[in-house]
Amino acid sequence: MVGPWEPESPIGQFLVSLLQSHPHLFLEAAEQHIQQLAADKNAAAEKSTNSSDSELVLYKRIAEVKEQERQKAVVEVIYSLVVQKFLDSRLALVPKIPSLPANQKVDSNWQSVLGDMESIHSAEVLEVVRDHLGMILGRPSPHYQEPYTLVQASKMKIGHLYAATVVFGYFLRRLDQRYQLDLSMKKALSSDKHEDEEQGKLAAEANAAVQAMQAAKSSTTRGGLGGSGVFPQLGWKPSKLKSYVMSLDPESLQRFATLRCKESLDVVERQTQALFGKPEAEIAPDGSVVLLAGDSFTISLSGLRRLVTEAVVFGSFLWDAEAHVDSHYNLVG
């Protein structure tokens, strides 16, 4: 198994098995299934429009069942694309957190990470990620001490932390793409301004030369560049990602930090539950639902750091996978 949860739909099961047996065929197969799911969705919508009133009630129920199956398949296609990105980056996903005695740490048998989780981020994104890790884990210990520094925590609390950090990684990828786009636009506008200034100055120089010739004063030029040939500097300097984040209004930040579709939310929920289990709940005397802390587990500080770093990467890859599927299936309405 390449990830902590096993797909349930035939399409999801096929794609994950393909990742293990024939990874070079995975992307083409995933593309075909996405296109077929999109065709099925469009066909269902067209059939619903053309159905008579007598057929509508029965068809509506059948359509609801098929839609649920199709949505589950889409969720698992997105998940398989995320897993594929982990494998391509030579990153092993953390397995399900087991229930162990308090004196045994859960990360003892985790596979070593061959790739570098930090290498998938730009330097500016990495700076924000490190700040996030610092807020969660506190002041870093020497790396040689981290495997021996143990932390005890509840599965529910770390599960919430993991899910929130996945959304944080998704937010960062989304925001960084917008940031890079804005930088590109500013550079293009800067280039256009340089060209406009150059053309204007050349025109002024040419006009001055004509006037000089007409006045028979060939040694004099009026206006223009004065022979310097040096364009003025605009003084524009790309802002850091942190400054860019601070420049956004609260409404924009909230929009960037929100998952764009239910399917991505389902991926986050299923990934978190596969790792930590479903949260236990009980009904309080007043009728409200109360989540219980659940089992606790022991993990080394290095294991916790890896878990949180993986969550950031998972969120980044989730954004990429969602965008790819959306280009065919129209996830984001």
DSSP letters spanning 256-287: HTS-SSHHHHHHHHHHHHHHH-PPPEEE-TTS
Q: How far is CA 332 from the centre of its chain?
A: 15
- Which residue intervals of the chain are DSSP H helices? 10-21, 26-50, 53-88, 123-137, 155-214, 241-247, 250-256, 262-276, 301-329
pLDDT category, 81, cuts 50, 70, 90?
very high
What residues contact 125, with CB distance under 8 A and at least 6 apart?
A: 172, 173, 176, 241
Residues 162 and 308 sit within 8 Å (Cβ to Cβ): yes
CB 74 within 8 A of CB 267: no
Instruction: Measure the CA–CA gap between 185 and 166, rounded to whole angstroms.
Output: 29
**Helix or strand or coil: residue 300?**
strand
Nearest to 2 by CA among 88, 108, 69, 107: 88
- Nearest CA-CA partner of 23 in 95, 87, 114: 87
Q: Rounded to 5 degrees, what angle do the CA atoms 128, 132, 134 make?
A: 115
Interstrand relation of 289-291 and 150-154 (parallel, antiparallel or unpaired): unpaired
CB neighbours (10 Å) of residue 302? 19
CB atoms within 10 A of CB 203: 12
Counted residue by residue, the chain has a size of 333
Residues 6+ apart with CB under 8 A from 247: 239
Does pLDDT of 13 surpass 70?
A: yes
Most confident of 100-104, 169-173, 181-185: 169-173
Rounded Cα gap, residues 278 and 94, in angstroms? 17
CA-based torsion, 153, 157, 159, 165: positive or negative: negative
Binning pLDDT at 50, 70 and 90, where does residue 289 land? Answer: low
pLDDT confidence of 234, banded at 50, 70, 90?
Answer: very low
Mean pLDDT, range 91-117, rounded to an integer: 82
Handedness of CA 55, 58, 61, 65 (dihedral sign): negative
The answer to whether the beta carbons of residues 329 and 31 sit under 8 Å apart is no
Task: Give the confidence band of 108 by pLDDT, cuts at 50, 70, 90.
Answer: confident
Query: Residue 105: beta bridge partners?
Result: 298
Kindly indicate the confidence band of residue 237, based on its pLDDT and cuts at 50, 70 and 90: very low
Burial of 282 (0-12, 13-18, 19+ CB in 10 A): exposed
User: Which one is predicted more confidently, 226 or 32?
Assistant: 32
| Per-residue pLDDT tens digits for 205-229 | 545 544 544 543 343 333 333 333 3
Residue 293 has pLDDT above 80, yes or no: no
Task: Region of 216 please: left (phi>0), alpha (psi -120 to 50) or beta.
Answer: left
Q: Report residue 115: phi and psi, to 5°.
A: -85, 180
Cβ atoms of 87 and 26 closer than 8 Å? no
Residue 317 clears pLDDT 60, i.e. is over it: yes
Mean pLDDT is lowest, of 203-207, 240-244, 311-315, 325-329, for 203-207
**What are the distances in angstroms from CA 101 to CA 153, 274, 296?**
13, 20, 9
Q: Do residues 173 and 320 lie in contact, with contact meaning Cβ atoms separated by under 8 Å?
A: yes
Prediction pTM value: 0.78
Handedness of CA 135, 137, 140, 143 (dihedral sign): negative
Closest by CA to 131, choosing from 308, 325, 277, is: 308
pLDDT at 239: 45
